[in-house]
Structure 1
Amino acid sequence: RLTDYFQMTIKPLLEEGKDGELIDWLKDIGLLQRAQKCVNPDCLGLKPMEWKRARIVDKFHWSCPMCKKKASIRTNSPLADFHCSFKVILDTITAWCDGISLEDYTKENKTVKGVIAKRIYSTCTTVTDWYMQSHPDLGYLGGENSVVLVDTFPDGCMTTVPHNNNYNKRILCMADTSHMPARIWAHILESKSLDSQKLAAMVNDHIRPGSTIVASPGLFPFLEGIKGMAEIISVEALTALDPADYQRSLKNLETIWKATVSVCQEVQSMTISEGEQTLRELEWRQVFPTPLAQILHDIACYANSRSA
């Protein structure tokens, strides 16, 4: 499922003989340093290092014009820890963007070391987690003329498919349907029993006044008294209008929640912190449905924030 961005921008740079252009582009988007100073104290950093051709994987390295000391083209860059070719890095990030599981990706690409692919996938998830925590406004949903769904997994109305009742994590999920795909906010609840005060606080923290809330039957009694919303209705009020032979409302809800349900299932086998990070990755993906250019930009910004 290669995106236009990959086909138009990245793929031509991966062709034979385009190494210099590829490195220029990686510098332009912030994934490689534009300049480097020699660490040799005798040089005093008087002249910037130059990049020169070399018989190595990266095809180029930094070279000091004074002492001739060499340094990797990746020095102090976001790509320094990925010990593989630039092509493998970009292919692996593209696979992560396309939602291909790590297991499937390494199975299909035998030449890619599993430990390298795992590191790249993990970096992408870490970066999306950082991005969402740096942009809390993206976790604020709805507003006037907006419908926000509020439900819990696994016991709500998010899917009509029977599932494993042994799921041990209950996850509160909100979906702002004024966006396509719906913007999501999700959080693992500390207790399996619902606390009306905590639920109301989370709704007020993440749903703008004036929104219409559609709540699952299990949540509706806890939320119906919340002030400031245009309307608060139960999913049951929607399903009551459906024809007897077709669950139109539930099918529509299932479509909206599909990606969220899949992630909520994955989260069940994770620790709480891993699960929360994975839910923030879901939120990021819903904000950026064609994510390749965005994740490359965010990796560079994340690296800058760490070195600042």
Structure 2
Amino acid sequence: MKAEVKDVYDFDWSNACDEGKESFINLLLPLLDSGQEIDLYNWLKEHRLLLRSGKCPSKFCGADMIWSKARVRDKYNWKCSMKGCAGRLPIRHSSFFSNIHCEMRKALETILGWCERQSVEECASRLDLCPRVVTRIYKQCIDVAAENIAAHQEEWALGGIGGVVLVDVFPSVYMSPNYLAKQSPNEARPKRILCIADLKCLPPRVWMTLLDDKFEDLKKVKEECEEQLSEPPVKKKRISWKGGGDREEKGVGAVLAHLAQIVLPGTKVVGTSRWVPQQPLQRLTGLCGVSVESLVALDQPDTKCMLNNLRGIWRTTSEICEEAQTLPRRDARQYMLEYMWRQINGSSSSAALENILGHIASHYSDAKAAVKVETIDL
């Protein structure tokens, strides 16, 4: 008996309807049952999560390979089609799963755990896996999600004509008053994180970046901002490049450079006067705005309505920023990109699962792989 491994290349992840996204998890779960390996492998190959064809390693003969039963964890491997050739490759070769040491179905269940935001310990206990394996899978998911966000910055064009964006830099009295209260002079300087919230979305869509990050496409705008912002002040004052004031000016230049790239023309910018000074904002980005301080000043003394609204908008974002403070710089950046990815792709655990698998397929698939039908001997 032979089971056909179908190669359907016209599957498009992006064309799935909302109803399909909600039912996606229900389509995949039956394939994760023990004994369903063939159907699962067919599904993974159909969706470009495993290679659909293989070539014998060059140190052997380079001929085409076929799937064959084997006494390995996955029960199958790639075997050279040339009689007498000893060429073999694991079915996970050149895939997301190549360095993951657990059953394929458990690896997929771990990806689902990441989509559901389960902790490493919780997921490892539920699936009876080593926490190190779960950590590796989570990290690979985060790396794929972060790469997707970095490669599709056009999805983060915020605002627009008539739109409003809220801008602040963590830590801030409007974002994180409790965090600021815990700081002491002996503690290390916190990572400054620029946050831009697009208020046309509910909940607001928040774009984040470490303020000191340098992007090639921002370099020219940032230099222009810093040059104009560093003009001699009215009062003669010696400026030291090592002084805190100068660091703040450079920080303001970076904020305006990011606003110039991320925020669409016609958007009203609401930000603190410290980080979004109104005259440089208009001169350097063409955007108009209003200061947060002027809006908070309109609050009635006994209500603090505007202040509470601002802190409500930033609540989740400030929690992400606080968590990022505990991570190394690269991990903090990846953590924020993961949060941004979930805002667009994680409306539900089912939608998150479909989207992350689609992005994994795009990342690992070999565009030059030959389209062919393979068979598994049973």
Normalised to the residue count of structure 1, the TM-score between the two structures is 0.84
CA positional deviation for 1:64: 3.1
Deviations 1:225-264 (A, max 9, x none): 42233x4123344445556554443444344333322221
Instruction: Compare relative contact order (CA 8 Å, sep 6+) and give the higher one, 1 or 2.
Output: 2
1:292 aligns with 2:310: no
The 5-angstrom pairing of residues 58-97 of structure 1 reads: 58-67=74-83, 69=86, 70-97=88-115
| Partner of residue 11, structure 2 | none
| Partner of residue 213, structure 1 | 269
Which is greater in Rg? Answer: 2
Aligned residues: 301
| Partner of residue 31, structure 2 | 13
Q: Which amino acid aligns with 1:299?
A: I
Structure 1 residue corresponding to 2:43, chosen from 25, 34, 38: 25
* Partner SS for 1:83: coil
Q: Which amino acid aligns with 2:201?
A: H
Question: How far apart in 2 are the matches of 1:60 and 1:251?
Answer: 59
Which runs of 5 or more residues in structure 1 are unaligned?
Answer: none
CA RMSD across the alignment: 3.0
Q: Please, which moves more after superposition, 169-178 or 274-283?
A: 274-283
* Partner SS for 2:197: strand
* Partner SS for 2:54: coil
* Partner SS for 1:226: helix
Q: 1:200 touches 1:223 (CA, 8 Å); kept in 2? A: no
Question: How far apart in 2 are the matches of 1:284 and 1:250?
Answer: 28
1:278 aligns with 2:335: yes
Q: Which amino acid aligns with 1:301?
A: S
The 5-angstrom pairing of residues 119-198 of structure 1 reads: 119-159=136-176, 161=178, 164-165=182-183, 166=187, 168-190=190-212, 193-195=247-249, 196-198=252-254
Q: Which amino acid aligns with 2:126?
A: N
Residues 36 and 96 of structure 1: CA distance in aligned 2, closer, same or farther (over 3 Å): same
Question: How far apart in 2 are the matches of 1:306 and 1:188?
Answer: 34
Q: Which amino acid aligns with 1:63?
A: K
Residues 225 and 137 of structure 1: CA distance in aligned 2, closer, same or farther (over 3 Å): same
Question: How far apart in 1 are the matches of 2:46 and 2:122?
Answer: 31
Q: 2:25 touches 2:353 (CA, 8 Å); kept in 1? A: no
Normalised to the residue count of structure 2, the TM-score between the two structures is 0.70
Identical-residue share of aligned pairs (%):
32
Which runs of 5 or more residues in structure 2 are unaligned?
Answer: 1-20, 213-243, 370-378
Q: Which amino acid aligns with 1:134?
A: A
1:57 aligns with 2:73: yes
Q: Which amino acid aligns with 2:358?
A: H
Q: Which amino acid aligns with 1:127?
A: V
Residues 40 and 187 of structure 1: CA distance in aligned 2, closer, same or farther (over 3 Å): closer
CA positional deviation for 1:42: 6.6
